[in-house]
Amino acid sequence: MNDFAETSSGNRISRRSQIKGSDHILISGYTTISANAHLNCDVKLKSSKESGALKLGKFVFIDEDVTITPATETSGESVHLPSIIGSYVMIGKATEVRSVSIGSRVAIGENCKLGDRSTIYDCVVIASNTILPNNTNIPPFSLVYTDQEGLNRYPRPKTPSIIIEPLHESYKRLFEENAKLAYVNSQFTPSEMPRF
């Protein structure tokens, strides 16, 4: 644990993480930010009344090489919207996040790309290597993955299509338990979520 600085609210932040605009980040507690994670929060917000560019709930686990940047107001502009990530959220290695909102009890696999201004509601599993287009809304209790067959078509689609299936409500408790395990001595990581 020498690689991590621990705050009074139980947050564990790797000394090798890259955090820009730390004064614009609000963390509720028991959050882990792993090595080489990039939080790019030194951005101009749409409203000067906003208190933070990034708000993290409790028991958020951000794995290695994750990049989180607040969403832009519209494509190509340098004005950003605040991003909110709920409690019991696990974000897998090498994932890029540009979402406006990620609800509570969400597991995001490795190598995912969450498009600009995307919204993910509560109790969602996003499988590894999933690409969510900009402005995508994912409903609660959903399993989401990229249509791999669509990627093999010619001509290749500009935006890969995603498949959304219902997720059983029993996952709600599983998210909480696994997020707590990820915090306690890093016993669990998002890559260990059931594969689909």
What CATH number does domain 4-192 carry, 2.160.10.10, 3.30.750.24, 3.30.470.10, 3.40.50.800? 2.160.10.10
Taking the C-alpha atoms of residue 125 and residue 16, their distance in angstroms, rounded to an integer, is 28
Tell me how far apart the 2 most distant CA atoms of the chain are, in Å. 54
- DSSP assignment of the chain equals -TTEEE-TT--EEETT-EEE-GGGEEEEES-EE-TT-EEE---EES-TT-S-SEEEEES-EE-TT-EE-PPBSSTT-SEE--EEE-SSEEE-TT-EE--SEE-SSEEE-TT-EE-TT-EE-SSEEE-TT-EEPTT-EE-SSEEEEE-HHHHTSSSPPSS--EEEEE--TTHHHHHHHHHHHHHTTT---GGGSPP-
Weakest-pLDDT range from 33-42, 73-82, 93-102? 73-82
Q: Are 108 and 95 in contact (CB under 8 A)?
A: yes
Identify the residue with better confidence: 49 or 161.
161
- Is residue 196 predicted with pLDDT exceeding 50? no
Poorest-confidence range of 73-77, 140-144, 146-150? 73-77
pLDDT of residue 73: 80
Domain ranges of the chain: 4-192
For 72-110, give one letter per residue: b (16+ CB within 10 A) or e. Answer: bbeeeeeebbbbbbbbbbbbbbbbbbbbbbbbbbbbbbb
Query: Can you tell me the mean pLDDT for 12-40?
Result: 94
> What does the alpha-carbon distance between residue 152 and residue 101 come to, in Å, rounded to a whole number?
31
Residue 170 has what pLDDT? 84
- Which of 87-91, 99-103, 112-116, 157-161 has the lowest average pLDDT? 157-161
Mean pLDDT on 152-160: 61
- Whose structure tokens read 């402005």? 135
Its pTM stands at: 0.87
Q: What is the mean pLDDT of residues 28-39?
A: 94
* Residue 40 CB burial class (10 angstroms; 0-12, 13-18, ≥19): middle
**Rounded CA separation 135/83 (Å):** 14
In the block, residue with structure tokens 């890559």: 191
**What's the chain's average pLDDT?**
86
